[in-house]
Chains A and B, each alone.
Chain A
Amino acid sequence: MESCPSIKNILLLDSEGKRVAVKYYSDDWPTNTAKETFEKAVFTKTQKTNARTEAEVAMFENCIIVYKFVQDLHFFVTGGEDENELILATVLQGFFDAVGLLLRGNADKKEALENLDLILLCLDEIVDGGIILETDANVIAGKVASNSLDAGASLSEQTISQALATAREHLTRSLLK
């Protein structure tokens, strides 16, 4: 009952309320239709609020939902009624920042869909069966990156391309100054 803080679900919806990536950890919504109804209801309720700078919170159907928006992605974390809202907020922040890191700063729907595997891995690394595994965004992103090692590109190659990119950036900036 009062034991481990547990998460009921994590949702990533687009700007129209359709799913990008979702993961449910509780049996409160047994069928797919129940889940979709919930997502739609949550979306309509929070549509009008502005949750871009700070995480917002709402109570709905006996759960607490903490949410944040960026560009055209909407992040939601749901917990039970008696859950500590700040714990939920930390999880949300971890998820949010990790996704930002993984999508290399372009957190919008197109990038998310192209890197869906990274996002799903990210979800998996944050919460396992409702229990919080990790809340530090850097650690999460690191785990996901190392997990998704393809046969080809290794970590070192990625960093080389990143180094080239940053060098290019610096060059352009210095030229413009």
Chain B
Amino acid sequence: MVYLMIKELSPSADEVIIVTSSLMKDMNSKTDMYRANAIRVLCRITDGTLLTQIERYLKQAIVDKNPVVASAALVSGIHLLQTNPEIVKRWSNEVQEAVQSRAALVQFHALALLHQIRQNDRLAVSKLVTSLTRGTVRSPLAQCLLIRYTSQVIRESGSTQTGDRPFYDFLEGCLRHKAEMVIFEAARAITELNGVTSRELTPAITVLQLFLSSSKPVLRFAAVRTLNKVAMTHPMAVTNCNIDMESLISDQNRSIATLAITTLLKTGNESSVDRLMKQITNFMSDIADEFKIVVVEAIRSLCLKFPLKYRSLMNFLSNILREEGGFEYKKAIVDSIVILIRDIPDAKESGLLHLCEFIEDCEFTYLSTQILHFLGIEGPKTSDPSKYIRYIYNRVHLENATVRASAVSTLAKFGALVDSLKPRIFVLLRRCLFDSDDEVRDRATLYINTLGGDGSVVETDKDVKDFLFGSLDLPLVNLETSLKTYEPSEEPFDINSVPKEIKSQPLAEKKAPGKKPTGLGAPPAAPISTVDAYEKLLSSIPEFANFGKLFKSSAPVELTEAETEYSVNAVKHIFDSNVVFQYNCTNTIPDQLLENVTVIVDSSEAEELAEVLSKPIRSLPYDTPGQTFVAFEKPEGVPAVGKFSNMLKFIVKEVDPTTGETEDDGVEDEYQLEDLEVVAADYMLKVGVSNFRNAWESMGDDFERVDEYGLGPRESLAEAVSAVINLLGMQPCEGTEAVPNNSRSHTCLLSGVYIGNVRVLARISFGVDGPKDVAMKLAVRSEDEGVSDAIHEIVASG
């Protein structure tokens, strides 16, 4: 019992030296039970260092004569493999011996451990499997494991479709084993082989068929479940079992019955459909809602497979729709009927009629409105739409407000799309004007007036139709946020200004006046849309309009730590002869309002850049991001680099959190931000090429420059490679940024576009010299000699 306690508490090894030492003593005690348990407990609480000490004992235990001890050691080994794989791998000799042991379960555990150790080595696994399939396997559990490994080997041995697969005979032999779990495992493995043929499947299916009529529910369940899976891919193979499965429909265990029905529905052919429907009708009343939904979906796919049988299936669906059931269940049925109506044109009339009968009695508002909406779309297209008007009009009188409103809309749709009915519709609509609910009256009025309420049979204007019944292109979320931020002013709300894309930000941004309401702000979603977004933003600012085309924008760089009062991150925009820093500022103090926010940039360390202008944020309230800009001029085409120190300067005004009013006068304040660096990589756009070789050849070596550099001692080759890639800021091509482990050399192919729109390609060979020194040879080709030189400059100075 003590062992149980220790395992439950499982302290770490350094806390309980006493416990561990007494456990170690126990490992060598005479009583085998103690040894076994001690091993298991020790392995649970041990860590790497302790493990090496007891390793010797564990190795002995694995080959111990007592099977309990051996099993304990092996199972602990399996658990330890997760945390200390190297140590456990050293035991593979002993484990190999254990596999040959006579005790059944020791073999099982040893096999499991050996497989785990050798998992990544395909050859070793297949050797293991070969040797054991010829040898003797003593326990059914071990046999099951072996079957699983065999199917893994078969799967990995690829698609050599020359005759029989290698181990198929072994699997087939297992079908005749004594233990049922082995037979089942083998049958399941055969059915799960990819690309299996009917001939190969037959023995497995025969065996499963026998299971279907067993007395044990577990066997029946397992067999039906596997056959269900097979039926999805090879329905023909399963048809022999149909008769047995039909008897299972009345099985006591409802899961088995449902699985049987769904399988039959998948494998049934046209003639059996009627028979099945009869049986299912009796069956449906017994089972729970969740099973019913499964059956309904199976019926739907059956109907789509046999469109001619739609009549009986549709009748079935409408019958069950009439019976009691939960919301999900009825929704599933309605969805199925709708899909059938859409896909099988002949079924439309009867389907719509069934739905109309259903809404007469439906207790779920959601479903009624769905059906009415659907009727509005499909009804006018049928041959005699007036049939449905009676049903719809009844809804207008008898139901609750939501349904009534929906019914009015549907009536109007009929009127708009079917001109002959218009006068009659208007009569009905006019009666709706006296309804007690606002929404219903509003809708009725709207429709009467827009559809030309003089009662004449006139073609309704197309624009009117689109206005009334066309779909709203805009996502509702954006519409909602735009409406919230619309401040009442002279200008009416412009629906065209609502952005069409859904943004990932949940905040409703207060857009600063003077900017277009295609809002932007904090972290962008995708790189492509970001560039466009930045471009739009920058071009909307008149002062930046004459900077030309934006070359590159960097990713946002945090200039403050998290959780500070003001959080600022900066984005660097590179133009041909200008650089703009965009600072996204957020005020996280609820009782402060910042005004006239600017960033004072000290560019004394960057000689070539001169500040040109700065654009402040006029007002920055709590928790809404705002942008301020500082623009610099630089000589054209020159990649100016430098470090900039930044200081946030603003006027802070107190805000009363309860009323939201701000004080009149504020205090000037400053806030130091971290430095911002402009590096050469900022001038390089990452543009990949798909075929590096072609691009290299076509570039020509007129402007090629080759040079060698020693990078000094580095942690690893991979680290050196990624450091150089980051320094240059170019895009690695053809996956050459990944360095395989333990390699002594590597070639990296990079490509990019430099400022001035110059294409650059670089081929870098890395080699590990000596213990840790990395040397590299850089070959650069570009369309401009100056650029090639510049690249080398970057590397030389970086």
- Contact flags B383-405 to A (C-beta < 8 A → 1, else 0): 00000000000000000000000
Docked pose: A148 CA to B105 CA in angstroms: 23
- Check A84–B144 contact: CB distance below 8 A: yes
On whether the beta carbons of B33 and A4 are closer than 8 Å, the reply is no
Closest to B113 in A: A4
Q: Mark B207-221, 1 if CB is under 8 A from A, else 0.
A: 000000001111101
Residues from 201 to 240 in B contacting A, C-beta threshold 8 Å: 215-219, 221-222, 225
* B255-A135 in contact (CB<8A): no
Which one of A86, A88, A147 contacts B180 once the chains associate, using CB atoms below 8 Å?
A: A86
Q: A146–B221 Cα gap in the complex (Å)? A: 38
Confirm or deny: B4 has a beta carbon within 8 angstroms of a beta carbon on chain A.
yes
- Answer whether residue A124 sits at the interface, using C-beta atoms and an 8 A cutoff: yes
User: Quick check: is B148 within 8 A (CB to CB) of the other chain?
Assistant: yes
Closest B-chain residue to A85, C-beta based? B222
CB–CB B188/A56 < 8 A: no
* Contact with B218, one of A50, A66, A128, A146 (Cβ below 8 angstroms): A66
Cβ of A121 and Cβ of B218 under 8 Å apart? Answer: no
Any chain A CB within 8 A of the CB of B115? Answer: yes
Q: Is the CB of B188 within 8 A of A84?
A: yes
Q: Which of A57-90 contact B (CB under 8 A)?
A: 57-59, 66, 84-90
Expressed in whole angstroms, the Cα–Cα distance for A53 and B252 within the complex equals 13
Closest Cβ–Cβ distance, residue A131 to chain B (whole Å): 5
B217-A55 in contact (CB<8A): yes
Which residues of chain A come closer than 8 Å to B68, judged between CB atoms? 143
**A160: shortest Cβ distance to chain B, in Å?**
22
| A interface bracket (residues with beta carbon within 8 Å of B) | 35 or more
**Docked pose: A66 CA to B148 CA in angstroms:** 22
Q: Which of B4, B78, B181 contacts A84 (CB 8 A)?
A: B181
In the complex, whether B576 has a CB less than 8 A from a CB of chain A is: no
* Cβ-neighbour of B221 out of A85, A87, A132, A135 (below 8 A): A85
The reply to whether B144 and A5 contact each other, CB–CB distance below 8 Å, is yes
Instruction: Kindly list chain B residues whose C-beta atoms are within 8 Å of the C-beta of A90.
Output: 140, 181
Is A108 close to B, CB under 8 A?
no
Determine if A129 is an interface residue (Cβ-Cβ < 8 Å): yes
A36 in the interface, Cβ–Cβ < 8 Å?
Answer: no
B112: interface (CB < 8 Å) = yes
Q: Is the interface of A mostly helix, strand, loop or mixed?
A: mixed
Number of interface residues of B (CB under 8 A): 43
Bound: A177/B252 CA distance, A: 42
Interface of B is mostly: helix
Residues of B within 8 A of A143 (CB): 33, 68
Tell yes or no: B485 within 8 A of A by CB. no
Q: B residues within 8 A CB of A117? A: 1
Complex contacts, A132 vs chain B, CB 8 Å: 141
Q: How far is the CA of A67 from the CA of B76 in the complex (A)?
A: 28
Inter-chain contact B141/A129, CB cutoff 8 Å: no
Binary A-proximity of B455-497 (CB < 8 A = 1, otherwise 0):
0000000000000000000000000000000000000000000
Task: Report whether B252 and A87 are in contact in the complex, using a CB–CB cutoff of 8 Å.
Answer: no
Interface contacts (Cβ under 8 Å), in number, total: 100
A133 touches B75 (CB 8 A): yes
| A77-107 near B? 1/0 per residue, CB < 8 Å | 0000000111111100000000000000000
Does any Cβ of B come within 8 Å of A120's Cβ? yes
- In the complex, the answer to whether B75 meets A147 with C-beta atoms within 8 Å is no
Check if A114 is an interface residue, CB within 8 A of chain B. no
Q: How far is the CA of A129 from the CA of B71 in the complex (A)?
A: 13
Contact of B105 among A3, A120, A129, A133 (CB under 8 A): A133
Which residues from A are CB-within-8-Å of B119? Answer: 3
Confirm or deny: A158 has a beta carbon within 8 angstroms of a beta carbon on chain B: no
Q: Is A2 on the interface with B (CB-CB < 8 A)? A: yes
Known A5-B144, A131-B112, A134-B105: A85·B37 in contact at CB below 8 Å: no
Closest to B155 in A: A2
Any chain A CB within 8 A of the CB of B722?
A: no
- Distance A50 CA – B119 CA, assembled complex (angstroms): 43
Q: Is the CB of A86 within 8 A of B218?
A: yes
Residue A49, interface by CB 8 Å: yes
Q: Does A87 lie within 8 Å of B78, measured CB to CB?
A: no
Residues of A within 8 A of B71 (CB): 133-134
Q: A56-B253, A143-B33, A143-B68 are in contact. Are A85 and B218 (CB under 8 A)?
A: yes
Q: In this assembly, does B552 line the interface, its C-beta being within 8 Å of a C-beta of chain A? A: no
Q: Does B433 contact A (CB under 8 A)?
A: no
A54 beta carbon closer than 8 Å to chain B? yes
A135-177 to B contact mask, C-beta < 8 Å, 1/0: 1000000010011100000000000000000000000000000
B426: interface (CB < 8 Å)? no
- Given the known interface contacts A84-B185, A124-B4, A143-B33, the answer about A129 and B75 at a Cβ–Cβ threshold of 8 Å is yes
Task: Determine whether B184 belongs to the interface, using a CB cutoff of 8 Å to chain A.
Answer: yes
Residue of A50, A86, A117 with most partner-chain B CB within 10 A: A86
A90 CA to B104 CA in the complex, in Å? 15
A132 nearest CB across to chain B (Å): 7
- Cα–Cα distance between A114 and B188 once the two chains are bound (Å): 43
- Output the least CB separation between B102 and chain A (Å): 15
**12 A-B residue pairs with CB within 8 Å:** A2-B152, A49-B252, A57-B218, A57-B255, A66-B218, A84-B184, A117-B1, A121-B1, A129-B44, A131-B112, A133-B71, A134-B71
Q: B residues within 8 Å of A by Cβ?
A: 1, 4, 7, 33, 37, 40, 44, 68, 71-72, 75-76, 78-79, 105, 109, 112, 115-116, 119, 140-141, 144-145, 148, 151-152, 180-181, 184-185, 188, 215-219, 221-222, 225, 252-253, 255
Question: Which residues of A come within 8 Å of B, CB atoms?
Answer: 2-5, 49-50, 54-59, 66, 84-90, 117, 120-121, 124, 128-129, 131-135, 143, 146-148
Top 7 closest pairs, chain A to chain B, by CB: A86-B181, A85-B222, A57-B221, A89-B218, A4-B112, A57-B218, A56-B217
Known contacts A57-B217, A84-B184, then 10 further A-B pairs from the complex at CB < 8 Å, ordered by chain A residue: A3-B148, A49-B253, A56-B217, A57-B221, A86-B184, A120-B4, A128-B40, A128-B76, A134-B71, A146-B33
